Structure formats: structure tokens, C-alpha cells
Structure 1
Amino acid sequence: MNREKHVMAVASAGGHWVQLMRLRPAWKGLRVTYVTTDPDFCQTVYQYAEDDGEPLPGFHTVVEANRWQKWRLIKQLLGIVFIMVRKRPDVVLSTGASPGYFALRVGRLFGAKTVWIDSMANAEELSMSGQRIGKHADLWLTQWEHLAKPEGPKYLGSVL
């Protein structure tokens, strides 16, 4: 049976989400599940799909958390695990921050290919999440040529 590839695209609210939305043409025609921290973004995702003539994607939210909110991070991780168990994506892609980090780590455990694209805003150094997830991603990218290293991340051009 030849099933269509399923992409899970994950990003926290703000600039990470904006950058993720700019990547949409890369998975046009594939089954997509979006995961973010702001339920209001659902309307934006569905509007993009309607404008592009694509089927409506899946949309899920997890709690917003940062490194100083340990209990919220645990809740966010559990939310990611719950979504991953139900959706079983083939590819997990993120532009950052903590929900993307967790999604790539959990996705890898489920056998998904993983892609991390470090935030364009991090021009002087890699993001903290990017530094921590790099060795766990199948493809680790930066949008700044001077941040690329032989062991990763790779620079393949600035697209966002």
C-alpha cells in the first residue's frame, strides 16, 4: 500500500510560527498536521489551505512553556506525545522553540524523519533549542552561512 506522506509541522507562537508558515510550499500536496501553542492560529492555517486549494490540514495546540516553567514543559511534552501517538507522522519539521524540540525528540522515537530549521532571528548564534536538538535531527539547518559547521548545522541558503 502506497500511502501519502504525513508531515507534522511544529512551532511555538510568534516568529517561529511565521517562519513555519513561509515554508508551506515545501509540503504542498502532502498530508499535514500543524502543532503550535496558540489556538487562534487555526484560522490562519485553514485560510492558507483554502487559498491554495489544499485539503484542510490537522491542527493541534499544546501549552506554551519556556525553560523557567518546568511543569508547563512537562505538560507540553505530554501534549506532543499524545499528538504523536495519534498522528504517527513520517516527517517532523520545526522552526523552533520548545514544542519543536520535543516533537523532534519524540518523532524520532516513533521512527519519523526529523528536520530542524534554526530561527532566522538567531543571526549571531544558534538558538538554545537548536543547539540542543541538532544532534538528534536527521537534517539540521541554519539560515546564516557563518553559523554552519561541518558537524552541523548545514547552510543550504536563507529561505525565510
Structure 2
Amino acid sequence: MSKVDWEAIFQDITKESPATNDDIAFLQEAALAPLTEDEIVEINATQNPYPASNPLYNEYEPFDPTGWVIPQRKFPDSFVDCLRWSNGGNFVNGEREFGMFGPEEIRQYLLSYQLPEYMPGAVPFALDGGGGFFLFDMRNEVAVQSVRMDERPARLIAGRVGSLVRRPRLR
């Protein structure tokens, strides 16, 4: 695998410290681990989108997160390489923005947005600067998708992180 010159790709760079070996180990082992009992309790306590004062609060039918299947794949080498350059951060290439997550943020966003419930196999790794996520589709071979948190469907935009960040135009 050839290394990507991340500095040469982006016009605007707000880097974090490079990921350590411990950060990468967390990414590959814990970011996509099965839910813990504490996480299940937290998800169950926070999943109703309605405040208690809303008449729909009592109408809400909760889902059961114990049935979630979290992908058990390794993250792409190109993403790990990028984290070794900057463990999260904000980057711009042309019109394309990346609010890249570090390993612990990946786990937080995955669970906070309940992605295993609504998009099984999707794993967020960055915000796109416009209200959407860049996601890895880890159901089969890993691919990069873009999704807005509304009714529009996710769409495939790249096969690898390096390919995604080199494209300066939004499509």
C-alpha cells in the first residue's frame, strides 16, 4: 500500500496529534465491539425523541438495541494511515469538508445516532460540513458513502478514503 501525502491533498488543515498505537488498537478492537450493558441502558434511556411533555412521548415504541449487529471488520488501511497523520481534525479540499473523527468519537457517533438500528453496517468516520456523515459501509467490502440525516438515501461516493479526499467537488 502506498502512503497518501495528506498534507498535499488539503488546502485547509486543522490537525490533531497523530494517533498512537493504543488509539489504533482501540479503533480496530473496541470501536466496533458489541454493546456493553451500560451502553444498552444509555440507549434505552435516551431513544425516545419526544420530551415527556409531548403527547407523542407515550406513543413512542422503543426498539431493542440488544439485537443490533455491529460490523466486525477492520477499518481500511487508508483510514488508519490518515489517523496516524492526524487523530481526527478538520480538513478542506475544494468544496469538500471533512470533520474527521478519532476512534472514540466513531463509537460515540455510531451509538448516539443509533446507526446499527437504522443503517446496519454503516460506521461514521467524518462529518461533511453540511449536515451529513461520511460512512464506511462495512457489510461486505468497505466502501465510503455519504448520507444526510434526513430522508435521502445514502449514496456510494468512493471505494477508499484516499479516493474520497482527493475529489474536491461535491457530487
Q: After TM superposition, is the score higher than 0.5? A: no
**TM-score, L = length of structure 1:** 0.25
Which one has the bigger helix percentage?
1
TM-score by length of 2: 0.24
Q: Which has the larger radius of gyration?
A: 2
* Greater RCO, CA 8 A, separation 6+: 2
